[in-house]
Homo-oligomer: A and B are copies of this chain.
């Protein structure tokens, strides 16, 4: 495994790989790798000749009151995970190399961004699509892998690729869960013991909502039942519960086609998100 620190070197190598006809699978992450990331690496390893993993805590996608400084890091562990999954290139750039100065041109997400997590994270997805545009151009992947845990991110990346014709195939990978159903997340370490016991009810609430939806419940019914389910079983404070078309993320009067039921719940020191896709 080769560790690459500069954008220029990454682009030099990916261009050589491209020119020699190799397929490149790319997994962009912010590090602190967990089982969810490992699923992405497994899929990339299976489907491509070369696997590139990037680890970059992108300052642009954190709001002024968010946890950029506290975002967990563990380089030694991440390197081990990368080796375990036979990553060929670990791209590990510094923020100063990715953003050497103020940019002249800005990307703004105008749709799919003002719902779910995007509603309370002003500018978050602008930062996401900016860094991904750069990473796609630096790593030049044939396929790129994203976890459906952040389904809104998948929807926004889908729009980025469509709108700008990026020559890369988006591969969404199902959410990895603990045995009790809790979606794996780097932020789960911030849960207290009691909160950790309650957290699996988030996924339970979504399964309950899915069942209701498939039985013909209205959007409002599904949302209010999921809300009651979470409030009765956890001390979490609900940020949102939404039931939208997917990947368009529009509020439909009548649920139809592919839908997403998603929620975010605040605990004392962690905000957990989860979702399920429902085909109707």
Contact = CB atoms under 8 A, between A and B. Distances in A.
A130 B159 CA distance: 14
A99 to B, nearest CB: 9
Contacts of A72: none
Contacts of A15: 167
Q: State the number of copies, please.
A: 2
Interface in A136-164: 137-138, 140, 156, 159-160, 162-164
A228 interface: no
Contact of A160 (B20, B105, B113): B105
Contacts of A137: 164-167
A151 to B, nearest CB: 15
A73 to B, nearest CB: 24
Contacts of A119: none
A111 interface: yes
Contacts of A107: 105-107
A258 interface: no
A103 B160 CA distance: 9
A18 B18 CA distance: 6
Nearest to A158: B104
A7 B162 CA distance: 11
Nearest to A8: B165
Interface string A95-135: 00000001111111111110000000000000001100110
A70 to B, nearest CB: 28
A11 interface: yes
Given A104-B159, A105-B109, A133-B165, 6 more contacts: A19-B20, A103-B110, A105-B159, A107-B107, A130-B164, A133-B164
